[in-house]
Amino acid sequence: MSSLREKYSFTTAEPAPAPRRTLKAEISAVGRGLHSGAQVTLWLKPAAVNTGVVFRRSDLGVSIPARFDQVSDTRLCTLIGGGEAKIGTIEHLMAAVMACGIDDLLVEVDGPEMPVFDGSAAPFMFLLESAGIEEHGGLRERLEILRPVRVEQNGAFAELRPHNPGGSGFDISLSIEFAAAAIGAQAYHFHLSEEGFAREIAQARTFTLLGEIEALRKAGLARGGSLANAVVVDDAKVLNPEGLRYADEFVRHKLLDVIGDLALAGAPISGRFIGSRTGHALNNQLLHALFADQANYRLIHGSVAKPLHLTAA
């Protein structure tokens, strides 16, 4: 794919980015895929400076960059790659990677889907922190939003905006609304940080409605789902014996998904996200809309903007 923008430079009042980060050591875990039901072994490995986050199917010898233009399916998860060489349900790991400020990482799996573990990002945070995170050279880039970009569908929307004066980092405001009484209407605002993510967002689990499970399984989805890795709602009832981890766990998990999906921008976002009833499809469409016009953003490396080049995998 050709470059999305031409090279230009500018000055910025924001501080220069920190050195890029990767893992100190390899770490592995075994789990089951939420939709495939298949057992999969996961390896998280350090990567060289400027590698970015790259997924690799170790059973096929195929690598897929963690990038928005590699997304091929957004039905109930974010899936990258195509044909046999695909990896699904990457959003929980990507949210943890973005929260931990990891720039370069090799993710190896021996199957078509990431392990779901308990349905949250907390197990991935544990793995990343257990392996250790270190600065390893180069300069971290950030993606600054210059003007509003919005996508809509059936009353739902997702939007990226520039910071308010004096703002920095990544702010996320999300609202959801479900007919099920146990969920209803919920809203949450969050400023992304590793500590805040671990405390407020990481433990929020994926969820589904009891009445949708049979249809999902007939469609070949949710084959590995259970009360051990998802919150199941039957109108006003939460069927999980332990109950909810947060009173508003549902919107927090949807916000977790937003972070993971937007991590596929390829660099930390500097700006604001505002969404209502958004999901994986709209989140991905938002990144396509963002990069469709070079006037929407600038990629900052140190104090100089540079072109964002997307090359075919």
Per-residue pLDDT of 263-292, as tens digits, reads 999 999 999 999 999 999 999 999 999 999
C-alpha 238/C-alpha 231 separation (Å) is 7
pLDDT band, very low/low/confident/very high, at 2 (cuts 50, 70, 90): very low
The whole-model pTM stands at 0.90
Would you place residue 308 in the very low, low, confident or very high pLDDT band (cuts 50, 70, 90)?
low
At 174, the amino acid letter reads: L
d(CA 13, CA 10): 10
Would residue 191 show up in a list of annotated catalytic residues for this protein?
no
Catalytic residue (one of 92, 280, 288, 309):
280
Q: Give one word for 184, left, alpha or beta, with left for phi > 0 and alpha for psi -120 to 50.
A: left
